[in-house]
Homo-oligomer: A and B are copies of this chain.
Amino acid sequence: MDKDISYKDKKVISIGVMRELTGLSERQIRYYEERKLIFPERSSGGNRKYSFSDVELLMEIANKIEDGVQTFEIRQEIVKEKKKEEQKAIRKKMLQGQLNAQFGIKNYK
């Protein structure tokens, strides 16, 4: 039923690896979390875990920071994009619903 979360969204990467992949310092990565730009999961012991999507997001953030954009504005942009994505998903779902209603297409896993 629900879209399978691909590898890209699985939170499995430690902050150290994250540092290597993005070139950012751990301090920066934690700070961007504090500013609510990124949302890692936590291990049972409290260690942060990120996904490859997070890697991409962090790189975008880093670019904007370099351009002098403040975390505050970046957050707004992220929220805006998230909403756009959601709308896209909703439209897709609606269309799917219509198709289902008209043709009774069954879910295939």
Contact = CB atoms under 8 A, between A and B. Distances in A.
Interface of A: 7-8, 10, 12-14, 16-17, 21, 43, 49, 52
A101 to B, nearest CB: 36
A21 B14 CA distance: 15
Name the 8 nearest CB pairs between A and B, nearest first: A7-B52, A12-B17, A12-B13, A7-B7, A14-B14, A7-B8, A12-B12, A17-B49
10 contacts: A7-B7, A7-B8, A10-B52, A12-B12, A12-B13, A12-B17, A12-B21, A13-B13, A14-B14, A17-B49
A43 B17 CA distance: 9
A1 to B, nearest CB: 22
